[in-house]
Structures are given as structure tokens and as C-alpha cells.
Amino acid sequence: MRFADESRGRPYSKDPAVVRFKGVYTLYYSLPPAAPSVAGPTTWTIGIARSNDLEHWEKVGEILPEAPYESKGLCAPGAIVLAGHVHLFYQTYGNGPNDALCHAVSEDGLHFTRNATNPIFKPTGAWNVGRAIDADVMPIGDRLLLYFATRDPTMTTQMLGVAAASLHSDFGRSQWVQVCAAPILKPELDWEKQCIEAPAVCSHEGRYFMFYAGGYNNEPQQIGCAVSDDGLTWTRLFDEPLLPNGGPGDWNASESGHPYVWVDDDGRTYLFFQGNHDHGQTWYLSKCEIGWRDGLPFLKNR
């Protein structure tokens, strides 16, 4: 699989999120402002593509800014199907430390109704700057855990946190409770540099696995993995990236980043990610299948 939306005048798609909804695979991704020579949105938006086989994708829609809090853009979607609806968790864009997470819901996966209380979440505490981006969600028990990236008060170091709301709520602003008083994962390894972002969580045999991006874009960004028994306390599985960037000349030589892990109805696990070879002039989305050996993940066919 290699997918990029070319509606902005160049191949460019970032931050994948995938669901299977009403028998069709739906991909949500970030789209940049249109090039000066191309008619189109002047802010970041969220593109929508569909597929019948997880290999060939066709763009079918786009989510444009509607509310004042989205006036500078919206991006980095996280998606989940709950009770017959697609729930999208996404971030505002272009507001620096004031960017926050939002929520919208859809009956068809294409047209979304914003949560009336948007933005629904931004973190508190002296350890962070109050910014929240890169949402991912995971049902654990009767709660929906909301994972996010934030930065330290100097806006230098990117790290991860988590909040929770009842699965039976409307996921509005008053429903979320921050359940960490410090980062749940922050850069410590050399390859992670000063950034851990894009948490992507799945469950396997009663444990939780988080695939995450280490390093800012094109440093290169690479993908690591951590494990948890409760979804709150995390331990790295490996000292090296599980999915590194490619070598010279490879399509992902500049990075393999921003993961999204997803389990299909047949139980197969896929890791979607973004990559490029030109330091971000273009961006493509791809995937690889995750296998499990002795309870631990590995990349199949690699």
C-alpha cells in the first residue's frame, strides 16, 4: 500500500486513522493547505478515503473547518466505531500551546456533527504547557481512554498523557478526567531525541500495546512500542525502533512516523504509518501487518 492525496498540488497525506464501518474500510488523514497555484482550502483539513481491500484507496470526502476554534485548521484524526457510529477525535491546528482536542460523530463515516462543547480536552499540570494533539482512544473497562501528545512548559519536549471518560457519556468537555500527573511516556532513548508523539494503542491477549513516534518529523521520526497491563503505566519493549526509517533511496528514507494500529474483524493487526524521502516535500501513507510471537509484536514480511 502506498497512498497520497494529490488534491493540494503534490502527493501529501499524513496522520492516518482507519476503521471498518458498514463493511468498508475508511481512512482519515491530514491534508495541508493547497499550493498557491491550486484552488483549494487554505488551512489544514481532514481527508477521507475508502477501500475494499486495504490496498487501493479512493478519496470520498473531506472535513473542512466549520467552527471558530477550527479557523486555523484541523488535523491528526483518531477514529473508533462505537454503537454503530464513527467517533472522530482530532486536534485544532496553528495555535501553538493553545491547540486542543475535539470530538465529532457520524452515522455514515463521511458527515460529522461536532461536539457542542469542543474543544473537549487540553491537559493541566506544571509538567506540560496545556497543549493537546495527536489523539488516540482505547476502550478499557467502562471507560474510554484518550491518549494525547503535549509539550513541556518550554515547548521543547514532546511527550504523552492520558485522560478518561465514561463509555456511556457524550464525550463532552465535562466528561474527561486527566488520569496522569506526569508524562506516561517521554523521550529517553537516543533515537527518540526530544519527541514522543502519535500514540496508537491496541490490545492483545489481555495486555495493551502502544506504538509511538520518536523524534520530530524527518529527524528521522521512527516508531517504537511500549506495553501496559492497565493502559496507564507503560514500559518500552525495545531500545531500538520497531519500525525504523528506510535507507538511502527508499520511499521512507526521511522517516517512518505517526503510527496508527488497527485490528480488523478477522483479528489481523495492521500498523499504518506515514513516510517520505524528500524531507517532507511529499508524504505517503503505508501499512505493514503486525504478527505476535510469545505475546510480543513483530513486523511480518520484514
**3 in any annotated domain:** no
pLDDT of residue 293: 96
How many C-beta atoms lie closer than 10 Å to residue 20's C-beta? 16
pLDDT of residue 301: 82
How many C-beta atoms lie closer than 10 Å to residue 87's C-beta? 20
Residues sharing a CB contact under 8 Å with residue 209, sequence separation 6 or more, in sequence order = 201, 202, 203, 225, 226, 227, 228, 237, 261, 297
pLDDT of residue 173: 98
Query: CATH number for the domain including 189?
Result: 2.115.10.20
**5 in any annotated domain:** no
**9 in any annotated domain:** no
List the chain pLDDT tens, one digit each, 302 residues.
999 999 999 999 999 999 999 999 999 999 999 999 999 999 999 999 999 999 999 999 999 999 999 999 999 999 999 999 999 999 999 999 999 999 999 999 999 999 999 999 999 999 999 999 999 999 999 999 999 999 999 999 999 999 999 999 999 999 999 999 999 999 999 999 999 999 999 999 999 999 999 999 999 999 999 999 999 999 999 999 999 999 999 999 999 999 999 999 999 999 999 999 999 999 999 999 999 999 999 999 87
pLDDT of residue 302: 72
**85 in any annotated domain:** yes
**7 in any annotated domain:** no
**230 in any annotated domain:** yes
**8 in any annotated domain:** no
Which residue range is the domain that position 130 belongs to?
14-299
Cα(176)–Cα(271) distance, rounded to whole angstroms? 27
What's the structural domain count of the chain? Answer: 1
**174 in any annotated domain:** yes
DSSP 8-state code for residue 302 = -
C-alpha cell of residue 299: 513486523
Report helix, strand and coil shares of the chain as percent, to nearest 5: 5, 50, 45
